[in-house]
Amino acid sequence: MKIPLKYSLRNFTARKLTTGITVTGIALVVFVFAAVLMMAYGVQKTLTATGSEENVLVARKSANGEISSIIPGDIQSIVSSLPNIAKTSDGKQIISCEPVVIINLEKQSGGLSNISVRGVSQQVQQLRPNIKIIEGRNFVQGRRELIVGESIANKFLGCQIGGKIKFAGDYWIVVGKFTTDGSGFDSEIWGDALQLLDAFARGNSVSSMTLKLANPSEYASFKLAFDTDKRLQQYEPEIETKFFAKQSELMAGFIRILGIFVTVIFSLGATIGAMITMYASVANRTVEIGTLRALGFRRRSILAAFLAESFLIALIGGIIGLALASLLQFVSISTLNFGSFTELAFNFALSPTIIISSLLFAVAMGFLGGFLPSVRAARMNILQALRAA
């Protein structure tokens, strides 16, 4: 004979103070757990959105990122001669040979941070059509002018329209602010590639080459031609989205490991709180349990009823914690990207996987906290329970 669910629901509201404290503890732990996963996913989502499935990025194999990659002029010419590269209406290849350097800028709030400065070619608009100038104008080729991503425009000194940024022994004028709808490019500064190469005395050696394929399905054919040329053995082509997604792995992994470790420690306190609540519930309902057993309810029914109550407490706490964490989606933060050692702004991001993982985590705390008290209730002697009256 099973105990009706309303029995557990009635007892759930009988001890409002202890139950409320336990629900709050579980909610806070789930909030931290979900926030950590949302932070890691936000980093991945931002960097993955940086690229395009239609573009291929070429960099040196041994390089950890664009900063440590070097592609000399003769290699650029060889790559440009490969098939399957898209062209504009006037027959020009859609390729951007891009030097990427790191400069130090002072934050308006104080302190220095590393910022990526990317030199781009005239073909960048065809490669990245999602770029939009939202204030000012685009830089002019051949001039030492810059456009800044919206994520850093108002956070660093000199990054406002008309401001001047000094690096490589010269002042560069900020003429525009751009957005790429939340990608990693929003945390960069862009200028003319040739001017950047000249300023840093890099000759014609760039950090990476980004090219657009005539058709995304032709990547395998392009890669085969690339790998067949022995002069390109030290370099590697990769779909742009995959390249930037790899840049997020180290940082996202670190956030997950550190965050989950801290969360597990916090969860011990929440689990102990749930256990105390359920033990108190068993102690206060000793006569009830004896009566239920005398009426013919089996031990497993008693066990199931108390576990259901513990699960309910944990689930409510999990839902509250997840609801609070979902509000973080409106928060944007910036930190150092381990892949490029530069400033990266991103938003917390929620996904179905995070929702499921957070609720399962809450239910797990409810099970661990309620199992032993439930076993105690189920194994209680009928006569001893009734005598407690």
pLDDT for 306-344, tens place per residue?
777 778 888 889 999 999 999 999 888 877 776 667 778
For residue 364, tell me if it sits in a domain.
Answer: yes
pLDDT at 296 over 80: no
- Rounded to whole angstroms, the Cα distance separating 66 from 137 reads 27
Q: 269 and 310: one domain?
A: yes
Choose between 134 and 339: higher pLDDT: 134
* pLDDT attached to residue 380: 64
Q: 229 and 373: one domain?
A: no
For residue 42, tell me if it sits in a domain.
Answer: yes
Choose one of 189, 211, 233: the last residue of a domain: 233
Q: 44 and 112: one domain?
A: no
Q: 139 and 225: one domain?
A: yes
Pair of tokens at residue 173: 């004028």
Find the helix packing angle between 286-294 and 240-284, rounded to 10°.
Answer: 80
Tell how far CA 195 is from the center of its chain. Answer: 34
Q: 91 and 228: one domain?
A: yes
For residue 327, tell me if it sits in a domain.
Answer: yes
pLDDT class of 13 with cuts at 50, 70, 90 = low
For residue 10, tell me if it sits in a domain.
Answer: yes
Alpha helices in 167-239 (DSSP H): 193-199, 219-228
Q: 274 and 314: one domain?
A: yes
pLDDT for 142-198, tens place per residue?
999 999 999 888 789 889 999 999 998 899 999 999 998 888 889 899 999 999 999
List all residues 6 or more positions away from 356 whose beta carbon is below 8 Å from its beta carbon: none
For residue 286, tell me if it sits in a domain.
Answer: yes
Range of the domain at 23: 5-48+247-387
pLDDT for 53-83, tens place per residue?
899 999 999 787 888 899 999 999 999 999 9
Q: 77 and 144: one domain?
A: yes
- Rounded to whole angstroms, the Cα distance separating 331 from 328 reads 5
Percent of the chain past pLDDT 70, that is, above it, reads: 82
Q: 252 and 382: one domain?
A: yes
Q: 40 and 111: one domain?
A: no
pLDDT class of 385 with cuts at 50, 70, 90 = very low
Q: 218 and 271: one domain?
A: no
- Rounded to whole angstroms, the Cα distance separating 80 from 222 reads 11
pLDDT for 15-46, tens place per residue?
676 677 778 888 888 898 898 889 888 888 88
Radius of gyration of the chain (CA): 30
* pLDDT attached to residue 229: 93
For residue 242, tell me if it sits in a domain.
Answer: no
For residue 256, tell me if it sits in a domain.
Answer: yes
Q: 84 and 205: one domain?
A: yes
The answer to whether 96 and 51 are in contact (CB under 8 A) is: no
List all residues 6 or more positions away from 87 whose beta carbon is below 8 Å from its beta carbon: 93, 94, 214
Q: Which residue carries 């104080």 as its tokens? A: 110
Nearest to 28 by CA among 351, 357, 358: 358
The tally of domains found in the chain comes to 2
Find the helix packing angle between 240-284 and 16-48, rounded to 10°.
Answer: 170
* pLDDT attached to residue 284: 58
Q: 215 and 122: one domain?
A: yes
Choose one of 206, 233, 260: the last residue of a domain: 233
Pair of tokens at residue 382: 């009928």
Choose one of 233, 258, 290: the last residue of a domain: 233
Q: What three-state secondary structure class fits 349?
A: coil
For residue 24, tell me if it sits in a domain.
Answer: yes
Q: Which residue carries 């957005």 as its tokens? A: 179
pTM above 0.85, yes or no: no
